[in-house]
């Protein structure tokens, strides 16, 4: 049987095939094993369907909106049809706009750029840096950081109190995640949206970790905007989306000035220029757009819709239960959580292991078992520090430990899965955790450029 056939057989339980399922990686202890990608929360592998669709379109790639040739017209249709497909996938309302960006981070920075002067922004300290930091770039915007809640209801109550006490009463925006990129826990988005609107505020949903795992409907959730990245949604081609209300987007200056955003430019008699900007999504899409990125996202949306979220969610919950049950049998493992063990979550889970530096543990999982996970603070420093009980001034950087293996360091391990995860990868992970905790690493490791890596030819 060929390598690809073996890998396909091992992946039979995964509902949607992804690229990389047939990749073999070397082990420091000898031999090779098919790579267990359990870092979906960082970047999910491309769906085979997405890759095939992009490959089929690639020969027909052309300029968008500004060409009379056949390929340009075809590419323009593809680009705008992708916008419509994504709008349908998100349950956008008739008046909503879908703006293509580079990523979730870019989407939220775009929204920060178009906020009306004097807007008050309310954001929980538990957010990913992509949704925690953009608002600080506006000196005319005041940001209120809300303490980490310990229950969903406490999150709603905390927001209610903050909004009720705001002065002066002007434009306000609430930014909240749909699912934590650290704990995977689902946030009470509908309830938070209701609280925001009851106090005259708008709300933007960071759906980067939610949309790959769970249906997202703007109308049903009653959020004003949603932001997410293609590379989290099995479409790693450098595109993202900001979708929602058009008025603030239409009333603000373009995010970038240039061709595509401008509808008419003319010289004035005083030597300057007058510009008439588009009022559609094009207003904030200056330059040649990422057609392939947009099409890849649309392809992923179609694939997930056709597969059926009910079945995908059910299977993911089975894998999460399997994962949590396996880790629960290892007393040295502590799973991180804001809302408690019974909280609903997507396929993302973080933990620490007693007696282990998390970078050392993650390095051993990779080098000795062919398992890819993430370690560090996951670009959510305040949240991880809260979960680990550390002081705010404690050092730590995204994905880079500050201590050598065995030394105290502020970091955790994150395992995340998705529609391409076969059962065997979860089982191998649980077995590897148990073996590492029980018997220790079989190889020596050292710190190099802030990372824990295997030492050359140095078995324990």
Catalytic residue numbers read: 379
As a whole number of angstroms, the distance between CA 73 and CA 293 comes to: 18
As a whole number of angstroms, the distance between CA 372 and CA 367 comes to: 9
- For residue 174, CA distances in Å to 139, 142, 452 come to 18, 12, 38
Which tokens go with 130? 């992509």
As a whole number of angstroms, the distance between CA 390 and CA 400 comes to: 17
As a whole number of angstroms, the distance between CA 21 and CA 418 comes to: 13
Contacts within 8 Å (CB) and 24+ apart, 112-116: 112/137, 112/138, 112/141, 113/137, 113/138, 113/252, 113/255, 114/248, 114/249, 114/251, 114/252, 114/255, 114/284, 115/141, 115/171, 115/173, 115/248, 115/252, 116/171, 116/248, 116/251
Judge contact between 316 and 213, C-beta under 8 A. Answer: yes
3-class secondary structure per residue, 129-147: HHHHCHHHHCCCCEEEEEC
Residue corresponding to tokens 């090779």: 32
Judge contact between 389 and 409, C-beta under 8 A. Answer: no
Judge contact between 382 and 132, C-beta under 8 A. Answer: yes
- The tally of CA atoms less than 13 A away on the side-chain side of residue 48 is 13
Which tokens go with 101? 């960006």
Residue 13 burial (CB count, 10 A): 14
Greatest CA separation for the chain: 81
Judge contact between 43 and 418, C-beta under 8 A. Answer: no
């Amino acid at each position: 049987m060929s390598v690809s056939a073996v890998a396909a057989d091992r992946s039979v339980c995964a509902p949607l095939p992804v690229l990389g399922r047939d990749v073999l990686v070397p082990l420091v202890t000898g031999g090779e094993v098919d790579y267990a990608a359990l870092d979906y929360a960082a970047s999910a592998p491309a769906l085979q369907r997405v890759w095939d669709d992009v490959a089929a379109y690639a020969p027909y790639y052309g300029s968008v909106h500004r060409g009379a040739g056949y390929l340009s017209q075809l590419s323009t249709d593809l680009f705008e049809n992708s916008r419509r497909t994504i709008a349908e996938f998100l349950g956008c309302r008739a008046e909503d706009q879908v703006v293509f960006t580079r990523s979730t981070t870019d989407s939220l920075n775009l929204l920060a750029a178009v906020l009306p002067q004097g807007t008050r922004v309310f954001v929980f300290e538990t957010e990913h840096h992509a949704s925690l930091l953009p608002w600080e770039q506006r000196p005319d915007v005041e940001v209120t950081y809300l303490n980490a809640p310990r229950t969903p209801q406490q999150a709603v109550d905390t927001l209610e109190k903050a909004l009720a006490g705001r002065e002066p009463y002007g434009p306000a925006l609430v930014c909240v995640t749909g699912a934590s990129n650290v704990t995977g826990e689902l946030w009470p988005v509908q309830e938070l949206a209701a609280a925001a609107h009851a106090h005259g505020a708008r709300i933007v949903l960071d759906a980067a970790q939610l949309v790959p795992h769970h249906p997202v409907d703007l109308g049903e959730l009653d959020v004003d905007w949603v932001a997410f990245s293609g590379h989290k949604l099995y479409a790693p081609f450098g595109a993202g989306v900001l979708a929602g209300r058009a008025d603030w987007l239409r009333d603000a200056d373009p995010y970038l000035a240039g061709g595509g955003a401008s509808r008419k430019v003319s010289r004035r008699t005083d030597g300057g220029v007058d510009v008439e900007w588009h009022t559609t999504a094009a207003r904030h899409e200056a330059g040649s757009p990422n057609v392939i990125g947009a099409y890849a996202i649309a392809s992923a949306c179609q694939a997930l819709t056709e597969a059926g979220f009910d079945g995908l969610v059910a299977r993911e919950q089975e894998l999460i239960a399997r994962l949590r049950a396996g880790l629960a049998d290892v007393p040295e493992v502590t799973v991180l959580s804001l809302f408690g063990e019974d909280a609903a979550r997507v396929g993302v889970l973080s933990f620490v292991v007693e007696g282990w530096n998390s970078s050392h543990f993650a390095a051993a999982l990779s080098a000795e078992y062919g398992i890819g996970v993430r370690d560090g603070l996951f670009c959510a420093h305040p949240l991880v520090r809260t979960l680990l009980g550390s002081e705010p001034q404690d050092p730590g950087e995204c994905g880079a430990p500050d201590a050598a293996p065995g030394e105290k360091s502020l970091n955790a391990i994150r395992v995340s899965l998705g529609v391409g995860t076969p059962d065997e990868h979860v089982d191998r992970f649980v077995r590897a955790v148990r073996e590492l905790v029980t018997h220790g690493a079989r190889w020596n490791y050292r710190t190099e450029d802030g990372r824990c890596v295997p030492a050359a030819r140095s078995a324990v």
